[in-house]
């Protein structure tokens, strides 16, 4: 930052501290963050739609039906940008935000602001089967994080403002301010107090007003509710909840299975080639997989399933309703595959909106099956389309309240609250019992970077191992005699514990002062007893790369030890003491609770 700008910022900060209370400043910042996140969301949407409209007007692609090669072109452009501009692998948007809040004090890089604004429109605009919500949330959160750093805002408040940015982005995209607040609470595990509620509310309002200002009253789903909840339909909503629950498990497992296959392809070029061809084949057979899929959902809500399906190789058979049902079920199956293939091939996008597309197809399928079995039942296909979306959202991201309020808000379907709750709750319970993790959290759980509403788990997740490792222990060599150890290490140490290291600094044992106390004053043993005869294995070992603080705490509890050695890159790093860890835990808990 130039000196003159830095001086001006310093003057502003001094004025702010004198004239604006911290609470008021946070509220002002939440409004600004909500507006900027809303602006980011509008930019992502408009950039994507601009690319799509240009491609749809292209004579080559519209007349010769070569649109299925577009995803490969889009992925290539993203690959070139990442290689020559971004210069590091793209990360999953929401997971990287959670990791930042857990392990990096809410700090996001400056390039996280503009990279999603470029890579997501290129991916989705050229037909990649992913959503725009994740990139919009990532970019808005990066704006909030960098603003917080600029204004010297503390880490705890920065976390709140990052959540405000996500609320602003979601409110702007879906024009659903209540669901946006709930998403921030459920996904980023905020404590819903008045201190957090008001900034989230202000950011959400700011985001949705930004959307109205730039986009007018344009809504995602042009749907008006014609049939409300009927008590006799309750068993079918329960059935839909079970179906979306198992579909959520399939969606999540398929996501990680396909990603693991792409990880075996070491070269990004091979990933791009394989992914591009796979997506192209799927798009040729199932055109609705192209892009986000909001048009597909709207056509289903309007009752026009033929328009929703588009031109497929099976058009000659779509007069048969069971062929239509099979094609819609195919979208349910292949949306997860197409989405993950796009991400695995190097594309940028989110998973939230693909879950809505998959849920809408599944809900419509269930309704069509019920209506065409010939058993005399009749249910609203539009209502089931909506509620299917809610079930998939609740199951896939483990956010049932977000699912309920989002679908209710974006459709004005508040009369469907009861079936929304039934389906979302059942789907969530089935998925939660089958999977402890979500697409957002599985990798984070492995490294102990999860956020949790459980304060104990949250505090342990926020603690850093580097903060509690102590290195003021004097090491000894296994070939040292007792006398050498006493003169070179014991007499010069303030600790009662000594790590035994070999020539490569690898830990091979420990010696506790109590082990040698009986022979410390027996000079006859100084030259006849050696460290290798006295050392013993530690009760437990902490591995820096793989153990998180929750596992460290468990190792202390199971072993009953007061000090445990830490191994980093195969070599001795230091010790963690139970007393220091508990002190650090208490300080972090007090800070988190304030």
| Angle, helices 455-462/549-559, rounded to nearest 10 degrees | 110
Question: 563-568 and 542-543 as β-strands: parallel, antiparallel, unpaired?
Answer: parallel
Phi, psi torsion values for 518, nearest 5 degrees? -65, -20
374-401 tens-digit pLDDT: 888 889 898 999 999 999 999 999 999 9
pLDDT confidence of residue 59? 40
Q: Which CATH number belongs to the domain containing residue 121 in this structure?
A: 1.10.3080.10
CB 68 within 8 A of CB 284: yes
Question: 497-501 and 542-543 as β-strands: parallel, antiparallel, unpaired?
Answer: unpaired
Residue 168 lies in a domain: yes
Q: Which CATH number belongs to the domain containing residue 546 in this structure?
A: 3.10.580.10
Residue 223 lies in a domain: no
pLDDT of 273 higher than 60: yes
Average pLDDT for 451-470:
69
Residue 1 burial (CB count, 10 A)? 9
Domain encompassing residue 293: 231-447
Average pLDDT for 200-223:
83
Point out the least confidently predicted range of 113-117, 384-388, 515-519. Answer: 515-519
> Is the backbone of residue 106 left (phi > 0), alpha (psi -120 to 50) or beta?
left
Cα separation, 367 vs 227, in Å, equals 14
pLDDT of 63 higher than 80: no
- CA neighbor of 350 nearest in space, from 581, 204, 138, 531: 138
- CA neighbor of 52 nearest in space, from 72, 66, 67: 67
Residue 224 lies in a domain: no
Secondary structure tally for the chain: helices H, strands E: 26, 6
Question: 507-512 and 497-501 as β-strands: parallel, antiparallel, unpaired?
Answer: antiparallel
Residue 443 sits in the same domain as residue 463: no
pLDDT confidence of residue 208? 92
Residue 264 lies in a domain: yes
Residue 440 sits in the same domain as residue 484: no
CB 480 within 8 A of CB 531: yes
Q: What is the Cα 349 distance to its own chain's centre?
A: 12
Residue 295 sits in the same domain as residue 358: yes
Residue 501 lies in a domain: yes
Residue 411 sits in the same domain as residue 440: yes
Residue 379 sits in the same domain as residue 510: no
Q: Which of 412, 447, 482 is the last residue of a domain?
A: 447
pLDDT of 589 higher than 70: no
Q: Which distant-in-sequence residues (6+ apart) come within 8 Å of 331 by Cβ?
A: 286, 288, 289, 296, 357, 358, 361
CB 402 within 8 A of CB 179: yes
Q: What is the Cα 239 distance to its own chain's centre?
A: 29
Q: Which of 215, 239, 258 is the last residue of a domain?
A: 215
Cα separation, 425 vs 550, in Å, equals 29
Domain count, the chain: 3
Phi, psi torsion values for 561, nearest 5 degrees? -80, 160
- CA neighbor of 516 nearest in space, from 497, 501, 502, 500: 497
Residue 378 sits in the same domain as residue 438: yes
Q: Which of 424, 447, 470 is the last residue of a domain?
A: 447
Residue 106 sits in the same domain as residue 236: no
pLDDT confidence of residue 292? 87
pLDDT of 60 higher than 90: no
Cα separation, 430 vs 66, in Å, equals 41
Kindly list the distances between the CA atom of residue 69 and the CA atoms of 141, 223, 382, 416, in Å, as whole numbers in the listed order.
Answer: 33, 32, 32, 40
Q: Which distant-in-sequence residues (6+ apart) come within 8 Å of 24 by Cβ?
A: none
Kindly list the distances between the CA atom of residue 130 and the CA atoms of 121, 335, 350, in Å, as whole numbers in the listed order.
Answer: 10, 9, 6
409-458 tens-digit pLDDT: 877 657 888 999 999 999 999 999 999 888 888 777 666 655 555 555 66
Point out the least confidently predicted range of 81-90, 161-170, 346-355, 453-462. Answer: 453-462
- How buried is 28 (Cβ within 10 angstroms: 0-12 exposed, 13-18 middle, 19+ buried)? middle
Residue 152 sits in the same domain as residue 272: no
Residue 87 lies in a domain: yes
CB 310 within 8 A of CB 288: yes
% the chain with pLDDT above 90:
41
Cα separation, 130 vs 358, in Å, equals 12
Residue 427 sits in the same domain as residue 496: no
Residue 249 sits in the same domain as residue 382: yes
219-229 tens-digit pLDDT: 666 666 667 77
- How is residue 471 written in tokens? 């290195």
CB 181 within 8 A of CB 201: yes
pTM recorded for the entire structure: 0.79
Residue 77 sits in the same domain as residue 176: yes
Cα separation, 61 vs 55, in Å, equals 7
Residue 414 lies in a domain: yes
Q: Which distant-in-sequence residues (6+ apart) come within 8 Å of 104 by Cβ?
A: none
DSSP-based three-state secondary structure for 222: coil
Residue 174 sits in the same domain as residue 239: no
pLDDT confidence of residue 363? 95
CA atoms within 13 A on the CB side of 185: 22
Residue 452 lies in a domain: no
Residue 55 burial (CB count, 10 A)? 18
- How is residue 344 written in tokens? 């695995």
Average pLDDT for 542-558:
85
- CA neighbor of 566 nearest in space, from 498, 482, 471, 494: 471
């Amino acid at each position: 930052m130039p000196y003159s700008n830095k001086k001006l910022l310093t003057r502003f900060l001094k004025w702010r501290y004198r004239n604006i209370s911290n609470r008021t400043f946070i509220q002002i910042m939440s409004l600004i963050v909500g507006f900027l996140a809303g602006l980011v969301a509008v930019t992502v949407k408009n950039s994507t739609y601009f690319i799509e409209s240009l491609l749809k007007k292209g004579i080559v692609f519209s007349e010769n039906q070569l649109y299925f090669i577009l995803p490969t072109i889009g992925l290539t452009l993203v690959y070139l940008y990442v290689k020559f501009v971004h210069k590091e692998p793209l990360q999953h948007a929401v997971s990287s935000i959670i990791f930042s809040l857990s392990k990096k004090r809410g700090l996001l890089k400056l390039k996280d602001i503009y990279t999603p604004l470029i890579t997501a429109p290129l991916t989705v605009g050229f037909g990649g089967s992913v959503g725009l919500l994740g990139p919009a949330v990532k970019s808005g959160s990066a704006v909030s994080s960098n603003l917080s750093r600029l204004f010297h805002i503390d880490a705890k408040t920065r976390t709140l403002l990052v959540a405000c940015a996500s609320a602003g982005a979601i409110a702007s995209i879906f024009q659903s301010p209540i669901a946006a607040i709930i998403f921030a609470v459920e996904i980023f595990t905020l404590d819903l107090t008045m201190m957090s509620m008001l900034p989230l509310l202000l950011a959400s309002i700011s985001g949705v007003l930004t959307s109205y200002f730039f986009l007018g009253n344009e809504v995602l789903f042009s749907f008006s509710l014609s049939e409300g909840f009927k008590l006799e339909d309750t068993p079918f909503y329960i059935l839909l909840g079970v179906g979306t629950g198992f579909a959520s498990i399939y969606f999540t497992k398929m996501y990680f299975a396909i990603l693991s296959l792409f990880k075996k392809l070491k070269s990004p070029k091979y990933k791009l080639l394989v992914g591009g061809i796979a997506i192209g084949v799927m798009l040729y057979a199932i055109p609705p997989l192209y892009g986000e899929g909001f048009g597909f959902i709207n056509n289903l809500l309007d009752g026009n399933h033929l328009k929703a399906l588009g031109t497929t190789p099976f058009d000659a058979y779509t007069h048969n309703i069971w062929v239509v049902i099979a094609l819609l079920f195919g979208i349910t199956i292949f949306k997860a595959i197409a989405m993950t293939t796009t991400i695995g091939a190097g594309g940028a996008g989110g998973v939230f909106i693909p879950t809505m597309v998959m849920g809408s197809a599944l809900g419509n399928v269930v309704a069509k099956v019920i209506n065409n079995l010939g058993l005399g039942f009749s249910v609203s296909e539009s209502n089931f389309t909506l509620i299917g979306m809610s079930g998939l959202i609740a199951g896939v991201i483990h956010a049932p309240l977000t699912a309920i309020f989002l679908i209710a808000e974006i459709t004005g379907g508040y009369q469907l609250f009861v079936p929304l709750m039934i389906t979302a709750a059942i789907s969530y319970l089935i998925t939660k019992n089958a999977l402890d993790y979500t697409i957002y959290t599985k990798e984070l759980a492995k490294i102990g970077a999860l956020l949790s509403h459980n304060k104990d788990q949250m505090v342990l997740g926020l603690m850093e191992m580097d903060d509690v490792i102590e290195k003021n222990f004097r090491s000894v060599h296994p070939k040292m005699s007792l006398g050498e150890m006493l003169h070179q290490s014991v007499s010069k140490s303030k600790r009662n514990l000594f790590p035994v290291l070999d020539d490569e600094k690898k830990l091979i044992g420990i010696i506790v002062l109590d082990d040698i106390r009986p022979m410390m004053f027996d000079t006859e043993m100084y030259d006849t007893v050696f460290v290798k005869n006295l050392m013993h294995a530690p009760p437990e070992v902490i591995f820096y790369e793989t153990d998180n603080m929750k596992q460290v705490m468990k190792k202390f509890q199971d072993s009953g030890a007061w000090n445990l050695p830490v191994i980093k890159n195969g070599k001795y790093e230091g010790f963690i003491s139970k007393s220091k860890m508990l002190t650090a835990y208490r300080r972090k808990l007090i800070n988190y609770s304030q």
